[in-house]
Structure 1
């Protein structure tokens, strides 16, 4: 949403309280507290709705929220420059996850004020004479926010001070958490159903909520709740309650509802459609494409309207800085001005505001097993190539250096845009990581006849690893130079894609939903696998690649789809975007999938693969309520203790 300027002004008003009022200003009109009368005006409704879209930027694109959603899964672990924010989330013994260190606080502290704003619009908006479809956007966001919260923390409060799901105008210091079934059946389900009924098929504005968006999240909520009711691995819930549905339905009912809604979304797409290729979906020049159902938007053309510095990022909301965390310091690689490496060492890969490069913070590294297991086919399936930066290329001329040729591995010449450092997709025992003549400075190895330094998949380390290309920096204002790579990323951050409807329906089908003809789990998965086989461009070779391996991939799809296969497909589609922890918690597979991982060490040149174990206890399937919230409540010590999830 770009049409109004949004700035947070109260984050302190409820740093630990149940938030009241709305926390935004619109058009520079300060309002620390929105009243019911204000929401009875069309200006108030529009202002509140705009703030609801704006609040997405406080969560999605925040690098610490990405940490909470990815570190400690099979996809990511901590990297060489990580501090406690990342080591605590990993659960491998390098840190200690507590209610004070959990970075799920990003969600908690940035959600309740917007839930309250949505309630204000829902209660009072009809008096403004606005169309019901506009109020439906508030229903969508309230259901969406509560769904995110209950997936993460278990049961959460529906009463923010004035009664359940009521608009509250007075800060409160007491709170009572509802149970998981209450949150789903009193809010998430009815709010998203109301949104489906009243939202338009086609968005009011680019990126706006639609029936398809509401169907997607309600399908996912039904699916998550069905797993919760079934509870196959006997995971504890909190607040303690029976895993029974208040309306008397069983898990099978909700699996079926999840399937039906996802299929309805596929069959009634509105303006949404799958992109032709995985590359097209993720390339920065094609942002805001038809597959993007919901995203946290940003705008390059105005720092004012983006509420961010585009020259230097603050690493705090509402900036989009998630990609920094998963980018290694590739700028340490060196080439030389002489073939015998007796000349001057040159930083041949400079920091650039481009999707292959960006700001390198080296906080999160992909695990070796996450890449090996989840991307077994890196030849025909384009999703590995369309996910990672597997080749860093020379760009020294754009930094003002005048050398036409530099010399790299094996003393071989390279020119601008040639490969300087490459990550090979498969193990290679022929790599010499101990070569001292051609010193990469970053620990890259050499292979005979290759001018680029190389790292094979088993040599990925906490220091040196592929970046996450698909969410990387993209700017159009570099003007032939390096641009401004340190500024907030000006791309939209993806929250939900149309492709997910296929995988939600497939997962529900695997869990026993009665299927429609042509929409079996295998049929649904193969739609995405067929797309994955289509290539128009190769990132690794940096050139057009026209190929169609759809039949190869669809023929290789198992006849019987399992939950493990669905999880692998979800990783191939959404690796590193912030879906993984929820996926593994929903299916209760986190303890199995992430209990061990492999990666090499933090030192330059360390390419010895090591295995690490995580101590994932069942209580950790819920994140802790932030300690700041607990401390701010004016309740007895016993009540505060009871408010916190067990184990923390």
Structure 2
């Protein structure tokens, strides 16, 4: 299939509220605004569809938006170098979420620009006569995709952008009315995704293009999310206020069943997609764009033009892919024989340290309890930092490290242990970072209970991967040129399992336990010890599947989701969907922000019911001509 090659241009149009679409088209000039006439040409439809794939870069991989999906959950908290962007999201007394500080603003404008582009294609493309239903279905997929993201984040949002519900708008609009949640689902998300399931092909129009399987994943997830919204087990408020009643007369149980049925169909009929044989292969940089990935925000190291950002430096904003910086510790401060033994490198374990977010101790010790049989811890984190000083031109063949023992390049310099070892002795001078030592070991070590806001395992799965660095350190300070994975085939198993737990009638061979065990069996298969940096052939599938509880509850599903998708931007949405955020994230353990601090403390969060929706961004209100009373009524309560 021909790959999508996208150059992204920021909109320079008359931006006020919701108007012209995001202007980035394949091999075309920048456009300040799209018109109906433009979408009545093949060139216009292809350009509009290309811009839809490009708009994903403005959301996925954007580090500050990424923070809003993880910080404040049981997976992550703010790290030593965090500013207010991160401390506000933690809700632990060091900041507060406001319309100005919530970085969910990163989805508001790109999503509505894209929705308007979709409206233009859907309204006008049929007039051409040569545009296939499948191409129009791509536009419908993305319109539903963006509305689904918006409704989960903010509650009800406008379907009318100024020209009528789901109509293409070309005029500046400074007044807006929000639709309620059921209207967004039943008027926009469900109809568009049902059309996409029907009309999209099994294999994408272009490499990375949306497919029937991707549409089924989002339809099943939308059904699942809406079912939870109708059920509302913890009486979480919605906005705009409306009864939890489906306009089509269905109840939560009906939607849980629909979520199960659609996901089960996709599992049985997944086209050219397939699960990777091992968890390591899913996120391995050299295996990007593999058969498990249903949708990604693409980047490339081959061309700055098509990467849409520099290959050598980063601007710290979209469309750069810089999310992984956030959960990368400053490993470069480690000293061996007075030398910086682990230096920045464009290699998946390393990359650019930013120290803005860190995993909680509970994520390491409770979520990833079994680090021996289950490969997902090893396939998620960088837990061993290895020497690379030779790539920086330092010719010394060995350096003295822990216990004065020599280490050669590629040897372990600092290791985070899988389990606490009471024999670990910490000292301020160890590696200049206050790490620990164990007798006979040449690597400095840190217990899981000693993970802190400044020293923690980094996020290998999103790590930088470059092939253009030769034998040196490459370009570790640029944004990642890897695609940012958005949707995976594996999630269909967990969507169906969650629906079954919530009462959906399962099909034979697809009970919640059987579905979960498909992924657990895969997690037990090793072909490489990532942090040991050696091949490893092991199959612990039997042990992992046997350990799965006979009866699975929603907390177990959420734990499995965290093991599969830790740090990928799923967690806040998973917790608000199931209304488990308060229960699972109201406290966490972490050590302090200084080197040598390995004493864990318990931190409490104050998660209010209104926090289950993010505030609409302040720039939205600054652009609207409405009375103060109308603006207050437009904003989500609590903000």
Q: TM range, normalised to the smaller chain?
A: over 0.9
Partner of 1:341: none
Partner of 1:533: 524
> Residues 54-93 of structure 1: CA distance to partner in whole angstroms, max 9, x if unpaired?
0001100111111010000000000000000000011000
**Among 588, 591, 597, the residue aligned to 1:597:** 588
Pair 1:424 & 2:428 matched: no
What SS class does the counterpart of residue 537 from structure 2 fall into? strand
Partner of 2:359: 366
Q: Is the 8 A contact 1:24 1:32 kept in 2?
A: no
Partner of 1:57: 57
User: 1: CA distance between counterparts of 2:622 and 2:634?
Assistant: 11
Question: 1:19 offset after TM fit, Å?
Answer: 3.0
* Gap change, CA 1:318 and 1:623, over 3 Å in 2: same
Question: 1:169 offset after TM fit, Å?
Answer: 0.6
Question: 1:443 offset after TM fit, Å?
Answer: 2.2
User: 1: CA distance between counterparts of 2:508 and 2:28?
Assistant: 54
Partner of 2:443: 452
Q: Is the 8 A contact 2:7 2:305 kept in 1?
A: no
> Residues 378-421 of structure 1: CA distance to partner in whole angstroms, max 9, x if unpaired?
11000000000000000000000000011000000100100000
> Residues 247-303 of structure 1: CA distance to partner in whole angstroms, max 9, x if unpaired?
000000000000000001100010110000000111100000000001101111111
Q: Is the 8 A contact 2:26 2:47 kept in 1?
A: yes
Question: 1:618 offset after TM fit, Å?
Answer: 0.1
User: 2: CA distance between counterparts of 1:283 and 1:354?
Assistant: 11
Q: Is the 8 A contact 1:80 1:462 kept in 2?
A: yes
Equivalence map 1:127-276=2 (5 Å): 127-128=127-128, 129-276=130-277
User: 2: CA distance between counterparts of 1:265 and 1:532?
Assistant: 21
What is the aligned residue count?
A: 637
Q: Is the 8 A contact 1:5 1:28 kept in 2?
A: no
User: 2: CA distance between counterparts of 1:453 and 1:193?
Assistant: 55
Question: 1:23 offset after TM fit, Å?
Answer: 2.8
Partner of 1:95: 95
Question: 1:30 offset after TM fit, Å?
Answer: 2.4
The alignment's TM-score, normalised by the length of structure 1, stands at 0.97
Question: 1:24 offset after TM fit, Å?
Answer: 2.6
User: 2: CA distance between counterparts of 1:324 and 1:75?
Assistant: 16
**Among 536, 544, 559, the residue aligned to 1:545:** 536
Question: 1:206 offset after TM fit, Å?
Answer: 1.3
Partner of 2:370: 377
> Residues 27-62 of structure 1: CA distance to partner in whole angstroms, max 9, x if unpaired?
241211111111011100000000000000110011
* Gap change, CA 1:5 and 1:527, over 3 Å in 2: closer
Partner of 1:410: 403
What SS class does the counterpart of residue 440 from structure 1 fall into? helix
What 5-or-longer segments of structure 2 have no aligned partner?
none
Question: 1:98 offset after TM fit, Å?
Answer: 0.6
Question: 1:348 offset after TM fit, Å?
Answer: 0.3
What SS class does the counterpart of residue 162 from structure 1 fall into? coil
**Among 493, 507, 523, the residue aligned to 1:502:** 493
What SS class does the counterpart of residue 135 from structure 1 fall into? helix
Equivalence map 1:323-338=2 (5 Å): 323-336=324-337
What SS class does the counterpart of residue 217 from structure 1 fall into? helix
User: 1: CA distance between counterparts of 2:622 and 2:372?
Assistant: 53
Q: Is the 8 A contact 1:21 1:35 kept in 2?
A: no
* Gap change, CA 1:319 and 1:564, over 3 Å in 2: same
**Structure 1 residue runs of 4 or more that deviate by more than 4 Å after TM superposition:** none
Partner of 1:349: 342
Q: Is the 8 A contact 1:2 1:299 kept in 2?
A: no
Q: Is the 8 A contact 2:6 2:51 kept in 1?
A: no
Partner of 2:574: 583
> Residues 75-114 of structure 1: CA distance to partner in whole angstroms, max 9, x if unpaired?
0000000000000011000111111100111111221000
Q: Is the 8 A contact 2:13 2:20 kept in 1?
A: no
User: 2: CA distance between counterparts of 1:567 and 1:396?
Assistant: 41
User: 2: CA distance between counterparts of 1:443 and 1:642?
Assistant: 52
Q: Is the 8 A contact 1:282 1:471 kept in 2?
A: yes
Q: Is the 8 A contact 1:70 1:580 kept in 2?
A: yes
User: 2: CA distance between counterparts of 1:540 and 1:4?
Assistant: 34
**Among 601, 606, 613, the residue aligned to 2:597:** 606
> Residues 543-591 of structure 1: CA distance to partner in whole angstroms, max 9, x if unpaired?
1000000000000000101100000000000000000000000000001
Question: 1:182 offset after TM fit, Å?
Answer: 0.2
Question: 1:2 offset after TM fit, Å?
Answer: 4.8
Q: Is the 8 A contact 1:435 1:446 kept in 2?
A: no
Partner of 1:30: 30
The alignment's TM-score, normalised by the length of structure 2, stands at 0.99
Question: 1:10 offset after TM fit, Å?
Answer: 1.6
What SS class does the counterpart of residue 111 from structure 1 fall into? helix
Partner of 1:105: 105
Q: Is the 8 A contact 1:21 1:113 kept in 2?
A: yes
> Residues 154-207 of structure 1: CA distance to partner in whole angstroms, max 9, x if unpaired?
000000000000000111100000000000000000000010010001111111
User: 2: CA distance between counterparts of 1:388 and 1:366?
Assistant: 10
* RMSD of aligned Cα (Å): 1.0
User: 2: CA distance between counterparts of 1:333 and 1:307?
Assistant: 34
What SS class does the counterpart of residue 612 from structure 1 fall into? strand
Pair 1:633 & 2:634 matched: no
Q: Is the 8 A contact 1:62 1:318 kept in 2?
A: yes
> Residues 584-624 of structure 1: CA distance to partner in whole angstroms, max 9, x if unpaired?
00000001111001100001100010010000000000000
Question: 1:304 offset after TM fit, Å?
Answer: 1.0
Question: 1:25 offset after TM fit, Å?
Answer: 4.6
User: 1: CA distance between counterparts of 2:534 and 2:360?
Assistant: 28
